[in-house]
């Protein structure tokens, strides 16, 4: 497992933000309840489901 100094953006300086947060949350919970995906897999699949865009990471000060 890789160690990032910022786990939120994985040191890219940008994070994926759902276009539709309600759809993201619903899909994330649905996948999570299936019990066969890791949190990260749920996150990525839910992002694809809701659509996503990049925003500067609020957790680190990368430029
Ligand atoms: Zn960051």
CB contact at 8 A, 59 and 8: yes
CB contact at 8 A, 57 and 35: no
Ligand 1 centre to CA of 33 (Å) is 28
Domain ranges of the chain: 1-63
CB contact at 8 A, 46 and 31: yes
Average pLDDT, the chain: 92
Q: Say what the pTM is.
A: 0.77
Checking if the pLDDT of 63 tops 60, the result is: no
Ligand 1 centre to CA of 19 (Å) is 19
Ligand 1 centre to CA of 2 (Å) is 15
Ligand 1 centre to CA of 35 (Å) is 28
Q: What is the spatial distance between Cα 15 and Cα 62, in angstroms, rounded to a whole number?
A: 12
Ligand 1 centre to CA of 63 (Å) is 10
DSSP 10: T
């Amino acid at each position: 497992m890789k160690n990032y100094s910022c786990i939120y953006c994985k040191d890219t300086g940008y994070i994926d933000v759902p276009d539709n947060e309600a759809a993201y949350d619903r899909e994330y919970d649905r996948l999570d309840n299936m019990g066969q995906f890791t949190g990260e897999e749920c996150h990525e699949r839910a992002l694809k489901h809701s659509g996503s865009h990049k925003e500067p990471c609020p957790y680190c000060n990368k430029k």
